[in-house]
Structure 1
Amino acid sequence: MSQTATPTTAAKEPRQRSVRVVMVGLMIAMLLAMLDNMIVGTAMPTIVGELGGLDHLAWVVTAYTLATAASTPIWGKLGDMYGRKGIFLTSIVLFLVGSALSGMSQSMDQLISFRAIQGLGAGGLMVGVMAIIGELIPPRERGKYQGLIAGVMAIAMIGGPLVGGSITDNWGWRWSFYINLPVGAVALTMVTIVLHLPKKRTESRIDYLGAALLTVAITSLVLLTTWGGTQYAWGSGQIIGLLVLGLAALGAFVYAETRAAEPVLPLRIFRNANFSLISLIGFLVGFTMFGAMTFLPLYQQTVQGASATNSGLLLLPMLLSMMAVSMVAGRVTSSTGRYKIFPIIGGGLITVGLYLLSTMDAHTSRFTSGLFMAVLGAGMGFIMQITMLIAQNSVQMRDIGVGSSSATLFRTIGGSFGVSLFGALFTHRIQETMSSSAGASGAAAMKAGAQLSPATIAKMPASLKDAYFHAVANGTHTVFLWGAVVSVIGFAAAWFLVETPLRGAGPKPATADEAAPAPEPLVADAI
């Protein structure tokens, strides 16, 4: 007996193919934003050698990070107000313009300015991808695509340094930026042709005051955590001034949002307990994750003797574990509609993984550290994309953009705080260990800073070198132990989440009146 497809199945098949094609374009766009800093970081020594401006080197990264963080909530709100497709395409174009200008830079000042333009576009890329997925795919089905997002992150972290080094050595540092143009053009073309979302029009005015105050608050806090303990002492006037400015701008922003007709970050979304809890969990995950990603390569290169390239490859146990677990968690969420257990398991595994990493010393083998990283990666896999899923499911569809941008922003700010505070702990611990174990010679070796280059370490006397290896191991012990303590808060918060049904959950048996397929609201004329 021959079988024919039901109308519902026939209607779904072309849409599913369209979604898959759109997802390819979205993943390429997200890869652009995540990969850029990894590639450029490898090229920075060559860039400084040609353009000079070593004293402004940090600003090449800081300008990009600041622009990305400050623009994230604004991009999300613009998408909610004026339609996601047009705003997303604008962010891609802005990112590509910034890439082209960065590649043509003739001075360090120009490069810093153009990197800020790139960062503005990158903020829209990351939020746009998450918000479009949130609008295009119901939460019940969204778990299937979590592995793709985790895979993009793993590719960026592993492939970035490799690609950046290869491009710089063979084509020159300017191609570290120019390489974005053909890749971005592919994403731009695919999204333009295939993505179909409803048109939106609004008569509301943009909340310029709220956007300005939020930008000042975010900029102040990011600069505080970037400069604190490195460029300026924590008790210096500059750092205290940034703290006061940030808190004042944040207070003024909250007041302004209560009076704005169309607030850039509606405070009503925080009345949802799940959204507030998942924002806290996202902040803490960013806090611990970026700290781990910063100090693990340092431990591997210094204590375990890995090269810069190999240290990236040595992160594979963590990244592959994260990707595999994320795919499994996504499939289970899609098939069962249950998700609360994953932040709980993830929070517990992150705590255990960080504690295990804190036990590493100067003699820990790469195999053992790889096992510890796999535990941490599994915890991240359970929680990384689930936090975005819960955040999006906790807000109304009209707020899906600000919900996505807020979740991204809290994770970004958490990462900024984590790297800064862990860095201060790391530096203090190394200096303390070197002074106690190597006396005056150890203290003298650390005058230039806590991290010494491989070439400098190779020239050290054997006793001083051994003391430095133990100092780095002690520093990472302190960082990961405190990371485990902080992650306990996220683990505890996960227990208070309420497992509300995911939108689009569970297909129902069709009745006679429901046999005809309902019109698909998300497939409309392209913007």
Structure 2
Amino acid sequence: MTAVTDAPPAPAMSHREVMRALSGLLMVLFAAMVSSTVVSVALPQIVGDLGGTQSQYTWVVTATLLASTASTPIWGKLADLFDKKRLLQIAIAIFALASLACGLVENTGQLIALRAVQGLGMGALQVLVQVIIGAMVSPKERGRYNGYLGAVMAVSTVGGPLLGGAITDTDWLGWEWCFFLAVPITVVAFFMLQRTLHLAESKKPDTKIDYLGASLIAAGVSLLLLWVTFVGNDFDWISWQTALMVAGSVILLGGAVVVETKVREPVVPLHVIKRRDPALAVVASLAVGMAMFGGAVFLGQYFQIARGYSPTEAGLLTIPMMFGVMVSSTIAGRLVSKTGRVKPYILTGALVLTGGFTMLATIDHTTSLVFMGVGMFLVGTGVGMAMQNLVLVVQNSVPLRELGAASGAIAFFRSLGGTIGVSVLGAVLANQVADKIASGLAALGIDTSGSLGGSTLDLDAMPAPVAEVVRASYGDATGHLFMISACIAAAGFIAALFLTPVKLRETVDMVEEIVEEIAVGEETVLGAK
């Protein structure tokens, strides 16, 4: 791998050159994102065929999440230190080989280990694509290309479960193809990028990697994510396990902060994210991630349990939300490139997101699908306008040499917000459902001291009156989740209000004049190393 140093701004790539390279980058991003969603539908059959347990089922998901989220800031920093194209190709190789191996496993233990390796590749691909686009085009022009990213994210989110259902329902394919699917896509993208991606890099022989900081961050984040994943299910929120894991995370991450303030090449540049605009963008991105992933993940469960639709039908019913993401990210991206202004679209997106979740907060198990479609479209529109533009705010505030670390940081916080959102809202849903089922069964004169209706989601095996109570309980409880999501989205809107209404720069790298816009008293991004 080739180390790099600060280089003079490279000549701007033409739109045709950018689009040729972007084709390969979008293929890579699609493969990385769809590999997660395509497996979600097939996972019960996969674990069943491999003879896995419920605990192992959870770990198949958790292993990928841990590896991907914990490694994101590290991959971002490596992109600042080494040849970005070579780094991306290494990540593609890791992801493709791990995906191939996942389809060849013989037991669940092997699958868990290989899913962790696949997660490393997934995290790398998702952040490196954004870093490389940032190295090719200026923040102002980046808006139009971010629209393509939003469209790919939407298609992979909707198409993944549909592909997963089709693959598992097809006898001559089998669930192995949920993993094999990504391999040819990434291989083609690898060779496309070899021909079309040309970035200016200069050698830096004295590069020093912050191994201690990277280790502390990975360990602290992993322990925090483990707590977020299992709290409320395997142990209580107030318990010795919570105290031990939270305290351990605080100690490890506190040590990481100390290290990052002292080393020459920090994994997470604290002097960047503590500035006003990057800090606010991180807070807003955390809120959008919590609201979007935490709220939307339960829509599939709502459609299947509360409304009785199949997994494939449930995926199709979420299309309004993903259509909103595609349309708004594309239109907002082009307007950002035209005007150079990003704050108005972030504010509008956060406001629309809050409104969409407020609509969904009123649903129950009989709500009109048209009403829900409008609410989901608003949610998708808000996400499409805000999410990628928040990345632009951070990227606009750093020079090219810190682009990777800054991009990795905001991607990390967005992913962390989504994970926390899923865990917190999942716990709220479980408590709401338990109370509503108990009340409903008591009204039917059924003894609620047992686990009837509470320990299984196999509604077909339940007596019709009990199944109806369970359906109604899930449908009525889901609205509470979206009310919480609306409050979180509103917090993101408040954070976005305080963003500086700056105009995006038209150069790939930062020039001296822009440094004057950085807050007085803080370390400048062009300061001495």
Tell me which amino acid in the other structure corresponds to 2:123: G
- State the Cα distance separating 1:371 from its structure 2 match: 1.0
1:260–1:381: structure 2 CA closer, same or farther, 3 Å change rule?
same
Residue aligning to 1:108? 108
Instruction: Pick one of 274, 284, 289 that aligns with 2:287.
Output: 284
Runs of at least 4 residues off by over 3 Å: 440-451
What is the correspondence of 1:502-521 to structure 2 with a 5 Å cutoff? 502-504=504-506
Residue aligning to 1:381? 384
CA–CA distance in structure 2, aligned partners of residues 43 and 309 of structure 1: 11
Residue aligning to 2:99? 99
Q: SS state of the match for residue 441, structure 1?
A: coil
Q: SS state of the match for residue 341, structure 2?
A: coil
- State the Cα distance separating 1:489 from its structure 2 match: 1.1
Deviates more, 1:14-23 or 1:246-255: 14-23
Residue aligning to 1:212? 215
What is the correspondence of 1:417-496 to structure 2 with a 5 Å cutoff? 417-439=420-442, 441=446, 443=448, 446=451, 449=454, 452-456=457-461, 459-462=462-465, 464-496=466-498
CA–CA distance in structure 2, aligned partners of residues 17 and 450 of structure 1: 56
CA–CA distance in structure 1, aligned partners of residues 405 and 138 of structure 2: 17
Contact 1:99 1:177 in 2 (8 A): yes
Q: SS state of the match for residue 259, structure 1?
A: coil
- State the Cα distance separating 1:23 from its structure 2 match: 0.6
TM-score by length of 1: 0.90
1:49–1:430: structure 2 CA closer, same or farther, 3 Å change rule?
closer
Residue aligning to 2:19? 20
Tell me which amino acid in the other structure corresponds to 1:473: G
Query: Is it true that 1:497 corresponds to 2:496 in the alignment?
Result: no
Residue aligning to 1:201? 203
Tell me which amino acid in the other structure corresponds to 1:455: D
Deviates more, 1:158-167 or 1:223-232: 158-167
Residue aligning to 1:61? 61
CA–CA distance in structure 2, aligned partners of residues 447 and 468 of structure 1: 10
- State the Cα distance separating 1:442 from its structure 2 match: 7.2
Deviations 1:406-431 (A, max 9, x none): 11100100000000000111111111
Tell me which amino acid in the other structure corresponds to 2:264: A
Residue aligning to 2:177? 175
Contact 1:430 1:450 in 2 (8 A): no
Residue aligning to 1:365? 368
Instruction: Pick one of 249, 254, 262 that aligns with 2:252.
Output: 249
Contact 1:63 1:113 in 2 (8 A): yes
What is the correspondence of 1:2-401 to structure 2 with a 5 Å cutoff? 15-55=14-54, 56-168=56-168, 169=170, 170-202=172-204, 203-401=206-404
- State the Cα distance separating 1:282 from its structure 2 match: 0.5
Tell me which amino acid in the other structure corresponds to 1:257: E
Deviates more, 1:197-206 or 1:261-270: 197-206
Structure 1 residues not aligned, in runs of 5+: 1-10, 507-527
CA–CA distance in structure 1, aligned partners of residues 349 and 181 of structure 2: 36
Deviations 1:24-80 (A, max 9, x none): 100010011110111122222332232112231111111111100111111111110
1:77–1:218: structure 2 CA closer, same or farther, 3 Å change rule?
same
% identity of equivalent residues: 36
CA–CA distance in structure 1, aligned partners of residues 103 and 130 of structure 2: 28
- State the Cα distance separating 1:236 from its structure 2 match: 2.8
Contact 1:318 1:375 in 2 (8 A): yes
Q: SS state of the match for residue 483, structure 1?
A: helix
- State the Cα distance separating 1:166 from its structure 2 match: 2.3
CA RMSD of aligned residues (A): 1.8
- State the Cα distance separating 1:237 from its structure 2 match: 2.3
Tell me which amino acid in the other structure corresponds to 2:414: R
Contact 1:434 1:442 in 2 (8 A): no
Tell me which amino acid in the other structure corresponds to 1:114: L
Contact 2:50 2:108 in 1 (8 A): yes
Aligned length: 492
CA–CA distance in structure 1, aligned partners of residues 214 and 245 of structure 2: 18
Deviates more, 1:300-309 or 1:219-228: 300-309
Q: SS state of the match for residue 265, structure 1?
A: coil
Residue aligning to 1:7? none
Structure 2 residues not aligned, in runs of 5+: 1-10, 509-529
CA–CA distance in structure 2, aligned partners of residues 436 and 193 of structure 1: 64
Contact 1:227 1:239 in 2 (8 A): no
CA–CA distance in structure 2, aligned partners of residues 451 and 394 of structure 1: 50
Contact 1:326 1:382 in 2 (8 A): yes
Tell me which amino acid in the other structure corresponds to 1:191: L
- State the Cα distance separating 1:21 from its structure 2 match: 1.1
More helix by share: 1
1:47–1:302: structure 2 CA closer, same or farther, 3 Å change rule?
closer
- State the Cα distance separating 1:103 from its structure 2 match: 1.5
Tell me which amino acid in the other structure corresponds to 1:196: H
Contact 1:272 1:394 in 2 (8 A): no
CA–CA distance in structure 1, aligned partners of residues 385 and 229 of structure 2: 29
1:160–1:444: structure 2 CA closer, same or farther, 3 Å change rule?
farther
Deviates more, 1:283-292 or 1:51-60: 51-60
CA–CA distance in structure 2, aligned partners of residues 429 and 355 of structure 1: 18
Tell me which amino acid in the other structure corresponds to 1:228: V
Q: SS state of the match for residue 256, structure 1?
A: helix
- State the Cα distance separating 1:388 from its structure 2 match: 1.1
- State the Cα distance separating 1:238 from its structure 2 match: 2.2
- State the Cα distance separating 1:184 from its structure 2 match: 0.7
Deviations 1:167-220 (A, max 9, x none): 232312222212222111111011111100122433121100000000011101
Deviations 1:101-158 (A, max 9, x none): 2122111111111111111111110011000011101111111112211111111111
Residue aligning to 2:522? none
Contact 1:304 1:366 in 2 (8 A): no
1:447–1:231: structure 2 CA closer, same or farther, 3 Å change rule?
farther
Tell me which amino acid in the other structure corresponds to 1:17: R
TM-score by length of 2: 0.90
CA–CA distance in structure 1, aligned partners of residues 175 and 464 of structure 2: 36
